[in-house]
Structure 1
Amino acid sequence: MTGGGDWQHHLLRELTDVGSDGAPGVPSPRADVQRTDASLPEPPTTPPSTRPQPRDPRTPAPTPESAPTIDPRLAHALGSPQHGDSAARRAGASLRRLTASAGQDVAEQTRFAQELQQPVTTGRVIAVTSIRGGVGKSTVSALLGRTFNHYRHDPVLTLEADAALGTLPVRMGADTVRWSCGDLARILTPSMQLTDVTGYLVPVADGGWLLPASQGRVGAPLDVRAYRTVTLALRRYFAVTVVDCETLPGEVARTAMDTAHARVVVAPMTAEGVNGTRQVLDWLAQLPHSALATTVVALSAGAPDTTLDPKTAVAHLREPGVPVIPLPYDRHLAQGGPIHTAMLGRSTRDAAVRLAAEVMQRAVRVR
Structure 2
Amino acid sequence: MTTREPESTRTEHPAEETPAFDLGPPLTGPDGWAAARPRYPDGSMAPAAFDPRNWWPKHQHRFEMSADYTGQPDYPANQPMFDGTPPPALAADSSRPPAPVEPDPGQYQPRHQPPRPATGTAADLTDDAIVRPRAERPIAGWRGAVYAASGGRINPGVSEAEAARNVLLRRIRRHLPGAHQIAVSSLKGGVGKTTVSSVLGLTLAEHRGDRVVAVDANPDAGTLADRLTGEIGVTVRQMLDNIDDIDSLTAVSHYTSLAGRLQVLASEQDPAMSEAFSRQEYEQICAVLARFYNIIITDSGTGLVHSAMEGTLALADSLVVVGAPTVDGSSRASKTLDWLVAHGYAEMVADAVVVLCCDRVSPEIDRERVRAHFLGRTRAVVEIPYDPHLATGGRVDLAAMREESKHAFLELGALIADRFSGY
TM-score interval, normalised by the smaller of the two chains: 0.5 to 0.7
Aligned to 2:416: 359
Q: How many correspondences in the alignment?
A: 268
Find the counterpart in structure 2 of residue 133 from structure 1. 189
CA distance in 1, matches of 2:345, 2:189: 27
Instruction: Check the 8 A contact 1:164/1:219 in 2, yes or no.
Output: no
* Runs of 5+ unmatched residues, structure 1: 1-92
Which residue, 327, 330, 333 being the options, matches 2:384?
Answer: 327
Distance 2:363 2:312 in 1: 31
Shift in CA distance, 326/332, structure 1 to aligned 2, threshold 3 Å: same
| CA–CA separation in structure 2 for the residues paired with 1:182 and 1:294 | 32
Deviation readout 1:3-33 (Å, 9 max, x if unpaired): xxxxxxxxxxxxxxxxxxxxxxxxxxxxxxx
Q: Partner of 2:405: helix, strand, or coil?
A: helix
User: Do structure 1's residue 341 and structure 2's residue 398 form an aligned pair?
Assistant: yes
Q: Which residue of 2 aligns with 1:230?
A: 285
Match of 1:317?
374
Distance 1:320 1:304, change over 3 A: closer
Q: 1-side partners of 2:245 and 2:171: how far apart?
A: 31
Q: Partner residue of 1:51?
A: none
The alignment yields a C-alpha RMSD, in angstroms, of 2.5
Does 2:267 correspond to 1:210? no
Query: How do 1:32-47 and structure 2 match up within 5 A?
Result: none
Contact 1:181 1:227 in 2 (8 A): no
| Identity over aligned pairs, percent | 25
- CA change 1:330–1:149 in 2 (3 A) is same
Query: Which stretches in structure 2 are left out of the alignment for 5+ residues?
Result: 1-139, 146-156
How far, CA to CA, are the matches of 2:171 and 2:252 in structure 1? 28
Higher relative contact order (CA 8 A, sep 6+): 1
- Report if the CA contact (8 A) 1:296-1:322 is conserved: yes
8 Å Cα contact 2:279-2:310 kept in structure 1: no
Aligned runs of 1:1-367 on 2, under 5 Å?
A: 102-172=158-228, 174-189=229-244, 192-204=247-259, 206-214=260-268, 216-221=269-274, 222-251=277-306, 252-286=308-342, 287=344, 290-303=347-360, 305=362, 307-319=364-376, 322-365=379-422, 367=423
Residues in 2 aligned to 1:245 and 1:264: alpha-carbon distance in whole angstroms = 11
Cα separation, 2, equivalents of 1:139 and 1:153: 23
Q: 1:254 Cα shift?
A: 3.6
Matched AA of 2:406: R
Q: 1:334 to 1:191 in 2, by over 3 A?
A: closer
Amino acid at match of 1:218: P
Q: How big is the shift at 1:289?
A: 6.6
Query: 2:98 corresponds to which residue?
Result: none
Distance in 1 of aligned mates of 2:256 and 2:273: 20
**Separation in 2 of the partners of 1:250 and 1:288?**
14
Q: Secondary structure at the match of 1:249?
A: coil
Cα distance in 1 for residues equivalent to 2:421 and 2:236: 25
CA distance in 1, matches of 2:265, 2:325: 29
Superposition deviation, residue 247 in structure 1: 1.6
Q: Distance in 2 between matches of 1:242 and 1:295?
A: 14
Supply the distance in 2 between the matched residues of 1:363 and 1:293 (Cα, whole angstroms): 17
SS in 2 for 1:336: coil
Contact 2:246 2:252 survives alignment (8 Å):
no
Question: TM-score, normalised to structure 1's length?
Answer: 0.67
Q: Residue 162 of structure 1 contacts residue 247 of structure 1 at CA under 8 Å; is this kept in 2?
A: yes
Q: Deviations over 1:265-290 (max 9, x none)?
A: 00122112212222222343452672
Specify whether residues 191 and 234 from structure 1 end up closer, same or farther in structure 2 by C-alpha distance, changes over 3 A only. Answer: same
Are the counterparts in 1 of residues 187 and 335 from structure 2 also a CA contact under 8 Å? no
User: Which residue identity does 1:248 align to in structure 2?
Assistant: G
Counterpart amino acid of 1:342?
A: A
Cα distance 1:111–1:230, how it changes in 2: closer, same or farther (>3 A)? Answer: same
Bigger radius of gyration among the two: 2
CA distance in 2, matches of 1:208, 1:140: 14
Distance 1:269 1:138 in 2: 17
Cα-to-partner distance string for 1:131-165 (whole Å, 9 max, x where unaligned): 11111110000001100111111111011001332
CA displacement 1:170-228 (0-9 Å, x = unmatched): 111x2322222232123223860111111221122x222110111x3333322211111
Q: Provide the TM-score with structure 2 as the length reference.
A: 0.59
